[in-house]
Structure 1
Amino acid sequence: MLLFVGLLAWGQGVHQLCQQCHTEAASDVEEHAHFRKGVTCASCHGSSEKHRLATGHAPPDRVATRAQVVALCGSCHPAERKSYETSKHWAALQAGAKAAQCATCHGNHAPRAVAKMERTCLSCHASLPAACAGAGKTDAKLRCATCHPAHGFAKR
C-alpha cells in the first residue's frame, strides 16, 4: 500500500512538472476520471526526465503508437481490450492501416462526449447503409452503439 501511495505521489509530481509547458493537455487530464484514480502524465509517457530537462526538442520517454494505445488502455480495461481485439478496426490496425482505437473515440487527454464519438465514426463511415439512415440525427436514442457494441463493433 505504501508503494502505491508513493507511486501515486511521484506521478502527481511529474504531472505538475509537465503542466508548466503542456498547460492545455494537463488541464484536460485533470478533468478526466482517470486522473482522479491516479493516472497521470507519467502513466502513459514515463517520467520523461530528458524531455523535461532539454533546452531543445527531446521526445518524452513514451508516445504510444496507434497499436500500442490498445495495449496501454487494455492494461486497466482488459474486457474492453478483449472485445476490441475481435473488431474489424483491430484487424485493420494490425495490417498497418489507420483505424479507430481507444483514443480515437475516447480522446487522448480529455474524455469525449457520445455525440463527438459518433461524429468521429461518421468521419470514416460517411456512407451508411439504409438501416443506419438518420441514426443519431432524428431520434436522440438511436446511435451507432444502438446496433454496434462499443468496443467490438460487430452488429448486435
Structure 2
Amino acid sequence: MSDLPVPVRKRAFPRSVSLLALLLLAGGLAPRAAEAGPSAAEQAAIEVVDRFIAAWDDPDAAVALLAPEASVRMVEDQPPIVGRAAIGDAMKGFMKPGVSLTVETVATTVYGPIVVNRRIDTMKTEGEAEQVFPVVGVFLVKDGLIAEWTDYLDR
C-alpha cells in the first residue's frame, strides 16, 4: 500500500446553487402545513421587503428600511455595498432625473427571516429603449430591518 495522500477533489458551487440548497434545507428543517401560510414574523419580513421595494424611487425612504450596517449587492457579481449612506448614494446614482423604474413582484417566498422574491424590474431612461431585468432578490430581515440584500439575474 502506498503512503501517498489520496487527492481530494473540491467542487465549487455557484453562490446561487449554494443559496438554493440553503433555502431548501431551511424549509425542510422547519416543516409546516402549506395552508398555514407565513407566521406573523415571516409576514412582517415580507412587508418590510415590499415597503423597501415600493420606496426605491425615494432612496432616502428606502434606506430607512435598512439596518445601519446593511450589506447590499444590487448585482450578484459585484462586491457588496455596506452601510446606509453608501447604499443610498448607489441608489441615487441609478435613480437620476429622467429615469423611472417599474417593479413587478411575480412571486414571494419566506423562510423565517429570509424573503425571496421573483421580480421583473423595468428601467426606462428618457430617449432610450426600456431595459427589462428578470430578477431573484434575496433579503435577510433582522429586527424589522433589511440586513442583507442580493439580486440575482434570473437567466
TM-score normalized with structure 2 length = 0.23
TM-score, reference length from structure 1: 0.23
Higher strand share: 2
Relative contact order: is structure 1 or structure 2 higher (C-alpha 8 Å, sep ≥ 6)?
A: 2
